[in-house]
A and B are shown apart, each in its own frame.
Chain A
Amino acid sequence: MDFRLTPEQQMLKDSARDFLADHCSSDFVRQMEQDRRGFTSELWAGMAELGWMGLLIPEEYGGIGWGLTELVVMAEEMGRACLPGPFLPTTLGALALAQAGNEAQKQEILPAVVSGEAVLTLAYLEAGCAVYDPLFQAATARKQDGAWLLEGGKLFVPDAEASHWILLCARTSGSLRDQEGISLFLAPRAARGLELRPLKTIAGDKQFEVSLKEVALPPDALVGEAGQGWPLLEQLLMTGALAKCGEMVGGAAKVLEITADYAKERVQFGSPIGRFQAVQHHCANMLMDLESSRFITRKAAWSMGQERPNPMLVAAAKAWVSEAYRRVVSLGHQIGAATAYIVEHDMTLFSRRAKAAELAFGDAAYHYGQVAQRLGL
């Protein structure tokens, strides 16, 4: 057992922290919330230069070919800086292609992802469904005159407008919540019949509703085998959940830093508020939530790279961290009090993103359900 990062991981982490300190200030983050696209080309190019988008992409396509532990370590830094933009959707899209795409798709798109030229996203949730449920796939794809015709809609699609390609989940057979019959397609964002409508969200991130009206795609737009997309989607969602956990851990670490500093500085009743035991207990609770979250996230990510992975750990991590992070930001607000509630204060960046991250890739309730299933219940 070794809780330390490898020297390579440490380097990755340090360089990410340095880069984000220079290129992703909280003012920039606030500015990007107002920006339609939500990130800048310079930022994206800088990330590409550091090789970030190639993190999970195999070396033969220009990537670094690292694993989920590295992804999580990076995500911690991104969460700490509230990095805006389509890093995670692009990473998941690329992972889908790397795992199941045909050679032409890989050749065309993966190097372009690595170089920062291609932005991807994943569209899998639907508006007809009241809760988070990735099995709920009502959008359909059928073969007609040699082409795939997609019909239906997707919701909560991150960065759809900035994307060049959208990985769309649609049903090619089976009924609503069947695993069997789910397929993934690679659609150009500019495809005819594919329309976007922006959503307004708590985190000011850029999510969209995607409607599909007779969107015609060539036969080779299919990613993997028709009807066999679920295991791939499930793997993408686990990867997404782990990355979100990483982001939340990084965010929680920063929130605790801001809070502990403030508790040492802010004087009331002639003493730093950090001397009051009520405040100390809050800080202690935050630290317990932070460290437990970091450990379970890293362990889950590590496990997924092992010969006998334990996917229950991923669900456990997402369930635990989603709730822990919400507790951390609540206490951060409580200790920061009125000052931290003003919109210019960085705490508000974290608390709004905490909610978005809690919901992304399944909230705690969903993942408790997953754990129960994996326990054989």
Chain B
Amino acid sequence: MNFGYTDEEERFRQELAVFLDKHLTEEIARQNWEDKGVGPEAREFSRKLAAYGFLGMGWPEEYGGKGLPPAYDFILLDELGKRWGAHVPLDVGYTMVGHTILRRGSEAMKKEFLPKIVGGEIEFCLGYTEPNAGSDLAAMMMRAEDKGDHFLISGQKTFNTECHYADYHWLAARTDFSPQGTGYKGVSLFIVDMDAPGVTVRPLWTMSGERTNEVYYDEVKVPRERLVGEKNKGFYYMMEALGSERNQVFVPSRLRPVLNMLLAYAQETRYQDRPLSKDPVVRRQLARAAVELEVAEVVADHSRWLEALELPMTHQPEMTKVMVSELEQRLVNAGMRILGPYGQLEEGSPWAPLGGRIEWYYLHSFMTTIGAGTSEIGRNVIAQRGLGLPRG
């Protein structure tokens, strides 16, 4: 048994830490989809990350990677997370769709996209959810008609988050309209240029101020080369990728800076001649959060380890997702309790503690148990895949 990292991995982590401490400013760290949106600074940072050799560790050499084990990429995510940069700035391509392109894309598609993903040059947005297809993605209705050398796509997506700055839409649409093609059977995946004629993006603003989007397709022509893998296999590819995506996106280390902030606050803030940190209730809340975070980290590590060794993953990544997202809510709730009446003050207000970060996180945390699949669906998956319970 060994829960540690190799010497080389540790060396990588240290070099990376030095780089990040220098280049990952707060301004850039906050340029991600959850917060201020990706801007030129974050893109520049991504390219720099690649130029210094910190991107693409786990990717094959022929596509610009270094051919190392996935552990290095997890180290990258962990170190970013510890510094408020929970996501690689261009994260959908790097942590999600890139892996499916690698597994299922044609050689030409791999050559076109992977080096740019690994080079921190391009970003994708996920086009799955539709107004009537949320948890039940197989109900999607977006139509992609096969016209031989191209597909003609029409319909609507919603809550597609990075679409206002991404270069490409990773789109799931229905390609089989026959009775046999209902549900998950008739879905295909496409890569669509965001500036293709007929694509319209409209903002949806969320409670915590992040932007997501509605995306409309009006007879958008998508070349056949942009079909990912085989036609009508899209849903299968999406499900196949899910475990790895969970492992890469639900990174517990991103809660470390929140906890650290609260620890410092409790030590520096006094009430009745003693620091809040001496208050038994506050101590217990923070200690509990720390325990939960340790547990979430080892749970996430287990699932990553399965992935690294290419062992079967059933319920484990889902467990990571549910646990990390729910811990996130409990942690910021504890934070709000510790901040007392000051917790309601927003960034930019006089007296806002910790720069208003906890208030923002509190509002943001309502979505963690919804986005990328709800906790209810997550628990269904855990019960059914993890224990073989019958499907409801």
Show the binding face of A for B, using Cβ within 8 Å.
125, 127, 129-133, 155-156, 177, 197, 199-203, 209, 267-270, 276-279, 326, 330, 333-334, 337-338, 341-344, 348, 351-352, 355-356, 359, 363, 365
> 6 other contacts beyond A125-B341, A343-B206, A365-B281, with CB at 8 A cut-off?
A131-B271, A209-B350, A278-B376, A330-B329, A338-B212, A344-B205
With A201-B349, A330-B366, A343-B207 known to touch, is A278 a contact of B380 (CB < 8 Å)? Answer: yes
Distance A363 CA – B362 CA, assembled complex (angstroms):
16
With A338-B129, A338-B370, A343-B205 known to touch, is A200 a contact of B345 (CB < 8 Å)? Answer: yes
Nearest first, the 3 closest Cβ-Cβ pairs linking A and B are A200-B349, A268-B136, A278-B376
B346 lies within 8 A of chain A by Cβ: yes
A341 touches B351 (CB 8 A): no
Q: Which residue of B lies closest to A326 (CB)?
A: B333
With A125-B341, A155-B351 known to touch, is A338 a contact of B159 (CB < 8 Å)? Answer: yes
22 contacts between A and B (CB under 8 A): A130-B340, A132-B341, A133-B271, A155-B341, A199-B349, A199-B351, A200-B347, A200-B349, A202-B344, A202-B345, A202-B346, A202-B359, A268-B135, A268-B139, A341-B366, A342-B204, A342-B206, A343-B206, A359-B344, A365-B281, A365-B337, A365-B340
Q: Which residues on B sit within 8 Å (CB–CB) of A278?
A: 376, 379-380
Q: Which residue of A lies closest to B205 (CB)?
A: A343
B287 lies within 8 A of chain A by Cβ: no
Distance A79 CA – B348 CA, assembled complex (angstroms):
27
Distance A275 CA – B134 CA, assembled complex (angstroms):
16
Interface SS of chain B: helix, strand, loop or mixed?
mixed
Q: What mask results when residues 143 to 159 of chain B are scored 1 for a CB within 8 Å of chain A, else 0?
A: 00000000000000011
Interface SS of chain A: helix, strand, loop or mixed?
mixed
With A201-B345, A278-B376, A342-B206 known to touch, is A355 a contact of B362 (CB < 8 Å)? Answer: yes
Query: How far apart are B44's CB and chain A's nearest CB, in angstroms?
Result: 30
Q: Which residues on A sit within 8 Å (CB–CB) of B200?
A: none
Q: Which residue of B lies closest to A369 (CB)?
A: B281
Q: Which residues on B sit within 8 Å (CB–CB) of A341?
A: 206-207, 366-367, 370
Q: Which residues on A sit within 8 Å (CB–CB) of B370?
A: 333-334, 337-338, 341
B141 lies within 8 A of chain A by Cβ: no
Q: Which residues on B sit within 8 Å (CB–CB) of A201?
A: 344-346, 349
Q: What mask results when residues 324 to 356 of chain B are scored 1 for a CB within 8 Å of chain A, else 0?
A: 000001000100110011111111111110000
Q: What mask results when residues 247 to 273 of chain B are scored 1 for a CB within 8 Å of chain A, else 0?
A: 000000000000000000000011110
A355 touches B336 (CB 8 A): yes
Distance A337 CA – B207 CA, assembled complex (angstroms):
12
Q: Which residue of A lies closest to B159 (CB)?
A: A338
A276 touches B374 (CB 8 A): no
B244 lies within 8 A of chain A by Cβ: no
Distance A132 CA – B272 CA, assembled complex (angstroms):
12
Q: Which residues on B sit within 8 Å (CB–CB) of A344?
A: 205
Q: Which residue of B lies closest to A156 (CB)?
A: B341
Distance A348 CA – B336 CA, assembled complex (angstroms):
18
With A201-B346, A268-B135, A365-B281 known to touch, is A342 a contact of B380 (CB < 8 Å)? Answer: no
Q: Which residues on A sit within 8 Å (CB–CB) of B270?
A: 130
Q: Which residues on A sit within 8 Å (CB–CB) of B348?
A: 200
The residue from A202, A330, A337, A355 contacting B374, defined by CB atoms under 8 A apart: A337
A355 touches B344 (CB 8 A): yes
B388 lies within 8 A of chain A by Cβ: no
B132 lies within 8 A of chain A by Cβ: yes
Q: Which residues on A sit within 8 Å (CB–CB) of B207?
A: 341-343, 348, 351-352
Distance A337 CA – B368 CA, assembled complex (angstroms):
10
B205 touches A342 (CB 8 A): yes
B134 touches A355 (CB 8 A): no
Query: How far apart are A217's CB and chain B's nearest CB, in angstroms?
Result: 25
B206 touches A130 (CB 8 A): no
Query: How far apart are B285's CB and chain A's nearest CB, in angstroms?
Result: 10
Query: How far apart are B147's CB and chain A's nearest CB, in angstroms?
Result: 31
B369 lies within 8 A of chain A by Cβ: yes
B392 lies within 8 A of chain A by Cβ: yes
